[in-house]
Amino acid sequence: MTLPKPSQRLAQAFAAALCYLLLAAALASCSRAQSAEDLVAKVLAARGGPDKLKAIQSQRVTGKISFGPGAEGPFIVQFQRPLKMHMEITVAGQTLVRVYDGKSAGWIINPFSPDKSVHPMDDTDLRTITDEADFDGPLLDYQSKGNKVELAGKEEVDGKPVVKLKLTSKAGDVRTYIFDASTYLLVKWEGQRQIDNQQVPIETVFSDYRDVGGVKFAFEIDSSSPGVNARQNITIEKIELNPQLDPAVFAKPPSPPSASIAEPSAAPRRTANDSPLSARPLFTLRSATEGTLLSTTNDSADSDSI
């Protein structure tokens, strides 16, 4: 038997070590992907499970929204598969309307802008409207939606352990979801929204979870933008699952009659930093998976830019 030469033994040892490192890296990568996938599975199970979520064909959500004293009112949002949405927010007697037909067209009526007639959504609105209209949220069937997930560590929020999940959407938007480590319900959402070429940070806190038809929903949702004078509180009063909806509500809405589009005399005058409503979304609230249901910004009543 001929023993290998020292150089051969060294080469063999190097090759074995390299294989081990490559295998370890592959196993670690698989472990990380599986762990993130496991977390998503636990989160969906905590809400009621994928089957119950997919069984929801339509939703009607009603409640109250507040941007601060003197800027509050009722809202109603209706959803229907696939990706159809009709949203109305009323503040100071004026109603902001956002509609998406689930295909390629959307419309906006903004009574706080100079032109109060119905307008088609522009490219910026259409870029994010499918996120708003997807009441399943980005985690259900996230792979088929082109989303990527990875664990983002653990920490404590208000003294309670939480686990964080980083999601990168198909469009490249990065969001962080923070879940209660014991219930796996969503506690907080952090991310950014692009408003007129500016990246605006957004934080949303979810609480008061209730069971509706075997599915958990957050009934209290508070959003803010650090460093910006913009806050939003949403209190959900009722969630209806699978209501019969009129298909016409997802079509182009009629422009409001001239009698109802006068400037709201009761609404306080606001600056470009704190006007409550505009056509371009800053805060969004979706069911309790991410929170996108209402889309509003703090744009000026005289401008569509932040």
Are residues 223 and 283 in contact, defined by beta-carbon separation less than 8 angstroms?
A: yes
Q: Which helix (H) or strand (E) holds 95?
A: strand 94-101
As given in the structure block, the two tokens for residue 146 are: 């082109």
In the chain the first and final C-alpha atoms are separated, in Å, by 81
Query: E strands, 169-298, where?
Result: 174-180, 186-195, 198-212, 215-224, 231-241
Residue-level pLDDT, tens digit, the chain, 306 residues: 454 554 444 445 444 544 444 444 444 444 444 489 999 999 999 999 999 999 999 999 999 999 888 889 999 999 999 999 999 999 989 999 999 999 989 999 999 888 889 999 988 788 778 888 898 999 999 999 999 999 999 999 888 999 999 999 988 889 999 999 999 999 999 988 766 677 788 899 999 999 999 999 999 999 988 877 778 999 999 999 999 999 999 999 998 876 344 444 343 333 334 444 544 444 554 444 454 444 444 333 232 222
* Residue 221 C-beta-side C-alpha neighbours within 13 Å: 27
Please tell me the predicted confidence (pLDDT) of residue 5: 52
Say which residues have a Cβ less than 8 Å from residue 244's Cβ, sequence separation at least 6.
58
Domains of the chain by start residue, with CATH: 7-260 (2.50.20.10)
As given in the structure block, the two tokens for residue 98 are: 């956002």
Please tell me the predicted confidence (pLDDT) of residue 196: 65
